[in-house]
Amino acid sequence: MAYVVELVKPRDVGLREYPTPEPAAGEVRVRTLYSGISAGTELAMYRGTNPYLARRWDAEAALFLPGQATLSYPVDVWGYSEVGEIDALGDGVTGLQLGEVVWGAWCHRSHAVLPAERLLGHILPPGLDPMVGTFDRVGAVALNAVLASGACIGETVVVFGLGVIGLLTTQLLIAQGIDVIAIDTMLHRLELARKFGATPLSAENGDLALAVRDLTQGRGADRVIELTGAYPALHQAIRVAGVGGTVIAAGFYQGPATALALGEEFHHNRVTLISSQIGSLPLALRDRWSRERLHDTVIRLCTVGRLDPMPLVSHVIPASSAAEAYALLDKAPADVLQVILDFRADPTDTPGGEPT
């Protein structure tokens, strides 16, 4: 039997078995090795705050509308950062081989049958740690935000929020010769940002807008990428930007924006506010870029060593202990960054869950 990690109701995670699927013609079966947990989208689902649980998303109108919600409990369509090994081929499949390790999105399930064409070009090179494949989605989110910022060499970019996506964003910016000021409250994350080449700045260090101006000869940040999804941080990101600066709002914001004071620095300093979301590319790049190119670029950068996500792996937890993994992320202790579910063991094995 195969199994899937299921969210039965808010903060109630379980495992549900299902018959191990067999691939039809043109399909392959993948046995999952690892699956990364998103500390943004998935935690919102876990906590019951994701808007898809309350409203209907009309893709054609591009609006959230009243009526039957897009998602309801139990939820098993979560998880979008998987890596696995091809263990069965349907008739007529070419370009893929048994035993190849592939990355993609098939939710937190032990086995998945997918169209072979979806995995073409998704083969991880031999010698690359398979866990790297779990970073393709969060890496694409980071890269999309960097592209949306339009940051140039010699500019100063402030990154608000040094979770997994924030630290990947920091690495991508540094690799382009951009000066990065990295802001967070957690010392461990600030130290990682410093090792990557950024100037760390504690969010508890007084008035952040004045601190950034001190670091930029009074100019303020050219661009700010806000990734916490918290409205107070978005307000501070606007204050940190210099006159005519740009703020990229790339966090997953929820609820009313009561902490924003748009009549202050946003209005007086003519700050540009841009939304970045993985569903689409920046308008100016859509002729040449695609979502697939985002993902391919992340894996390629990891393969050649220009992007290194492995220092961000803080916990590898058996998939059978998924409930503990989500509870850990929900509590957000200081040492937690990327939590990865390990599907290699049988779900009846005794859970471990030790930090890496």
Q: Which residues contact 119 (CB under 8 A, 6 or more apart)?
A: 28, 30, 86, 96, 102, 104
Same domain, 63 and 35: yes
List pLDDT tens digits, range 83-106: 999 999 999 999 999 999 999 999
Q: What is the pLDDT of residue 346?
A: 65
Q: Which residues contact 323 (CB under 8 A, 6 or more apart)?
A: 12, 13, 14
Residues in the chain: 356
Same domain, 170 and 273: yes
Same domain, 188 and 244: yes
List pLDDT tens digits, range 316-353: 999 999 999 999 999 988 899 999 999 997 665 544 44
Inside any domain, residue 290: no
Q: CATH number for the domain including 27?
A: 3.90.180.10
What is the Cα–Cα distance from 5 to 13, expressed in whole angstroms?
7
Which of 281, 298, 317 is the endpoint of a domain?
A: 281
Same domain, 188 and 265: yes
Q: Is the pLDDT of residue 289 over 70?
A: yes
Same domain, 318 and 274: no
Same domain, 224 and 169: yes
Same domain, 60 and 176: no
Q: What is the pLDDT of residue 256?
A: 85
**192-203 per-residue burial string, b: 16 or more CB within 10 A, e: under 16:** bbeebebbbbeb
42 DSSP 8-state letter: H
Range of the domain at 97: 2-123+309-342
Can you give the pTM of this predicted structure?
0.93
Same domain, 118 and 203: no
Place of tokens 């990229």: 248
Closest C-alpha among 31, 294, 282, 318 to residue 137: 294
> Which of helix, strand or coil describes residue 235?
helix
Inside any domain, residue 303: no
Strand partners, 200: 182
Same domain, 147 and 273: yes
Inside any domain, residue 182: yes
Inside any domain, residue 258: yes
Please give the tally of structural domains in the chain. Answer: 2
Q: What is the pLDDT of residue 40?
A: 87
Inside any domain, residue 118: yes
Same domain, 154 and 270: yes
Same domain, 159 and 243: yes
